[in-house]
Structure 1
Amino acid sequence: MLRKIKRDLDHYYLHQVGGAFFYAIMLSLALNYFWLPGHVYSSGFTGLAQLIDTLTGGKVNVAWAIAIVNMPLLVLAWLTLSKRFAIFTAMAVLLSAAFVPLFATKTVLTPDPLINAIFGGGINGMAVGTALRCGVGTGGLDIIGMELKHQFRMKVGSVNLAFNALIMIGAGLTYGWQYALYSIIGVVVSAHFIDVFYTHQQQIQEMIVTNKPEEMTDTIQNKMRRGVTIIDSAHGGYTGRDRSILLTVVTQHELPELRHAIKEVDPHAFYSESKVEHTGGRFYEPEP
C-alpha cells in the first residue's frame, strides 16, 4: 500500500516537473524565434518583462526581468495559496529565465509580424495550457487571478484585460501602433490555445441512465469527489422498464475517469454529456 502511494506521488510530482520544463522550453522558443524578431509583445508578465528590457535599453534583459517581476508574487503564493504550487511555479519561472538566453538566436524565420504573432501566441498558449494542466502555474497573472478568486471571489477577466492593455500600449509606443495590433492578435491566439490545452476549467454535465444508481453514486463520490443528483422512477420509453437518472458535473480533464467509472459499474448504462457555461453553489475545486 505504501509503495503504491509513493509511486503515485512520484508520478504526480514528475508530471509537474515535466510541465515546468515544457513551459520553459516552449516559452523560450516563442520568445526568441517569434516575438523578439517580429517586435511582438506577449501578454501578462512575459510582456512586462519584454517592456522592461526595451525601456532599459537591454540593461535589464528579458530573462532577468521575468525572474524579478515574478519574485514578489511567488512569495505571496507561498504565504497565501499553496507551498507546493509556489515551488513548482517558481521552478517554471526560473527555468524560463534560464532557458531564454540559452535558446537565444540570430536566426529570423520570418520578418512578418503577423506570422510571428500567430505562431508565437500559439506556442505560448500551448505551453501555458499544458503547464496549468500539469498543476504548474506560470507566474504573474496566474497568481494574481488565483489570489483574487481565493481571497475575494472576484472574476479576473477585467484585471487581465487592463494589464494586457497597458502592455499593448507599451508595444504601440515602442515599435508603432501596428505592432500593438499584431500583439493583440498574438494574445487572442494564445488565449484560444490555453483553453484548448487547459481542460480543468471546462465543465461538463453528465447525465447517466442506469439501474444501479447507488453503486454508481458511491463510485463517483468516492473516486472523484463529485456530487451526484439522483432522479428516481424514470421510465424507459423503449424497454418499458424503470431506471434512475444521475446528474453530475465534472471537468473536461476528469471525463476519461468518469467514463471508466460508468463502464465499471454498469456497462449497459446510457450517458450523455453537455458543456456547462456556469455553475453555482459548491463545485469542488482542488487546491493548487
Structure 2
Amino acid sequence: MSADLDALLTCLYVLVDDLLPGRRRFGRPPRISDGELICLAVAQVLLDCADETRFLRLAKQRLSHLFPYIPGQSGFNKRLRCLAPQLAQAVTLLAQLSPSFCDRLRLLDSTPVPCAASRETVRRSQLAGLGGYGYCRSHSRWFWGFRLYLLCSPDGLPIGFELAPANAPERAVAAELLERVLEPGQIVIGDKGFAGSEFEQLVASLGGTLLRPDRKNEQPRFGSLGGIRQWIESTFDTLKDQLSLERHGGRTLTGLVSRIARRLLALTAVLLHNWQLGTPGRHLTAYDH
C-alpha cells in the first residue's frame, strides 16, 4: 500500500462497499455501483476539480483503469444527490475505524458555507428560505448561506457535523450535534460563542466536560486555549484551501449536503489511509494528482 490516489481509492472502495448496505433497485442494474460513485466523488474533491464536466473528462484519462464506466455529468450529479445520506453515513463509519476516534478530546467549532454573493442571487436561489445571513468574525464580513458545525478529534478527524442556516443560534445547533455523537467522559473544547451555563449543563448531562477560552468580563477559568483552538482552525483551513469547501457549487439543499459530505469523506479517507501507512496527519499532497 502506498500514498497515492489509486491506492487510497482502492482501499476506500473496499471499506465503503463492505460498510454501506446495498440499495434495492428496480429495472436495469446501474453500470457504476454506489461504492464506485462515492470513490469517484472523493477523487473529484482530492483533485480539486470543482467543475464536474471537466472532472469527468479528466477521470476518463486519469482513472479509467479503476472505473471501467464513467457516467455523464447529469447522471453523476443526480446519483450523488440521492446518495447524500450514504455519504454522511460513510464519514461516520470510516471515522470509527481510525485510532483517533478513541481520543477523549473533541474540538467543536463552526465555519461559514456561503451560497450566494448578491441580493438578486439570494432572491432567486432554490435555497431561499433555507439559508440565512450570518457574520464571519475571522474575516469581518457578512455572508448568506449556512454554517458547518464540526466536532472532530485533535488530528482533524470528523466525528460529527451539522449544517444549519447562518442565522441559527450557535448553541442550539451545537447541542443537537453533541446529543447525537458525544460519548460520556469526553472533553469538548469550543470557542467563546459557546459560553453559557445552560450549554455547560447540557454537556455535563451528556457525561462530557466543556472547556472554552475565558471571556474578558468573567473570572479566569480555563485560560486562552489558543494553541489547542488552533487545531480545529487548521482543519477548517484544510477543508477550505485544499478541499474547496467554500467553492462547493451546491444549488439545492440535497446537493449542498452531498457536496459538504464529499469533502468531509475525502478528509476522513486521507486521515485513515495515512494512519494505515504509519504517517498520521492531514497530508493531502500525495493524493492531489
TM-score (norm 1): 0.26
Flag the structure with more relative contact order, 1 or 2, with Cα contacts below 8 A and sequence separation at least 6.
2
Q: Which protein shows a greater Rg? A: 1
